[in-house]
Amino acid sequence: MSISFNDMFTQLDEAWPLASYPFLAVLPTSEVIMMVGSLVALYTISPSTFSLAFSRNLPMRPDGIPWTYPQTGVATLLPLDPADNYAVKVLSAGGCSEDLAGLTTPATNAAYIFDLATVTWSATPTPMTQPRVIGNVILLPTSQVLIINGAGTGTSGFGTGIGGGNTLNPVLQPEIYDIATSSWSGPKAAASNPRLYHSTAILLPSGEVLVSGSEVTQDFTAEIYRPSYLSSPHQPFINMPTAPQSLAYGSTLQLSWGRTSTLPSEDVDHGVLIKSGAITHSTHFDQRMVILVTTSASPVTSQSVGGLNSRSGTIVVQMPPSNLIAPPGQYMLFLLGKDNTPSPAIYVSLGVPVPANAPQPPQDSGVGYNLLANTAYATGSDLFNFYCAGGQCLTVPMRRGL
């Protein structure tokens, strides 16, 4: 891809010194959106030449305060839904409450949604339940957004704060934004350890979230956050030991599912794709979720074996129509019941040929699922646990970064 340095330099220069770790996303409109500092810019993709060129500036977040590194808030593209013609909306939340922030600058609990169709920002009906800076944002398979980790004051980077970082007042409790109701819920179950500068969070195939790190506190542990949707005793599952080597855009995939339930209201009725990714500096590169079209579903079969009642069936889902909606790569595919309870995911490769002898990723569950599947907790509640194996909590080597 060729990029006009002069075009992009103009926006980055205007945002300086808050030009690091911008939020970028490929859009179904053949464009790329960039949010950096307090600026929002749009770039046009030329498919014929595979090039990118500056298109126009868009309105900045209403509070006008730069919210990318080091005054770090979070941003994510909201789920792309074919029922809404894959409309583009971006959630931006948190960051510092004022510009030129320092160690004692309070974080903000402001949260806004940018709608590309109307080119407008709107505040969520209520703000986040807690002010937060240097948090992490995770799209959940239930079309909810998890905000986790971070602090109540300060900025990214090193300084005279906790552990030699530049933050105070760790925020241990996550919260969740429900897109369907436009509401925040929280604070949720608390983590055991502060997760500050250079901490991470990533969605597992189990539907759990792995959080780890915090360089400034020299924390080499990891914890598992288990959202309340996994407290259901009737989580659906996918009967598919291995996924196809590769799926083409617009192709269909038939999946067999089962669930220990007697209720038709809990039958599986749709699926979602969530892209595998990586996160650093509160920036979740390539994070994306696409709702799949359900093309057909078989009649559901009920049975009772050994006193255990279950329901099962098949569902046919269609892959997204283009690489602008779902860029090529590895995705987790979740099936969800009518009650919005997700199955553990299987991995699928979309738009990318995979060698016949390539090793298959595990298809049964994530590492957290194996650990916490038998942990008892009340239906409708959530849970935070250390990830430990054989009596040893997970430790990973870390290097000092920027």
Per-residue model confidence as pLDDT tens for the chain (402 residues): 444 444 666 777 777 777 788 899 999 999 999 998 888 999 998 876 667 788 888 999 999 899 999 999 999 999 999 999 999 999 999 999 999 999 999 999 999 999 999 999 999 999 999 999 999 999 999 999 999 999 999 999 999 999 999 999 999 999 999 999 999 998 888 888 999 999 999 999 999 999 998 889 988 888 899 999 988 888 999 987 556 668 999 999 999 999 988 888 889 999 999 998 788 888 888 899 999 999 988 888 888 776 778 889 999 999 999 999 999 999 999 999 999 999 999 989 999 877 666 666 555 443 333 333 444 445 566 666 655 433 334 433 333 333
pLDDT at residue 360 in the model: 60
pLDDT at residue 284 in the model: 87
Q: What is the CA radius of gyration of the chain?
A: 21
In which element (H, E) is residue 201 found?
strand 199-203
Residue 144 carries which side chain, given as an amino acid letter? Q
> CA–CA separation, 187 vs 131, rounded Å?
11
pLDDT at residue 383 in the model: 63
> CA–CA separation, 185 vs 231, rounded Å?
17
Q: How many CB atoms lie within 10 A of CB 360?
A: 12
- Residue 225, SS3 per DSSP: strand
Strand 222-226 and strand 209-213: the pairing is: antiparallel
Residue 76 carries which side chain, given as an amino acid letter? T
Q: Are 227 and 208 in contact (CB under 8 A)?
A: yes
pLDDT at residue 7 in the model: 60
- Cβ partners under 8 Å of residue 294, min gap 6: 269, 270, 271, 315, 316, 317, 318
Domain boundaries, the chain: 1-58, 74-231+366-402, 233-361
> CA–CA separation, 252 vs 236, rounded Å?
21
φ/ψ of 288, rounded to 5, equals -165, 140
CATH number for region 233-361: 2.60.40.10
pLDDT at residue 152 in the model: 97
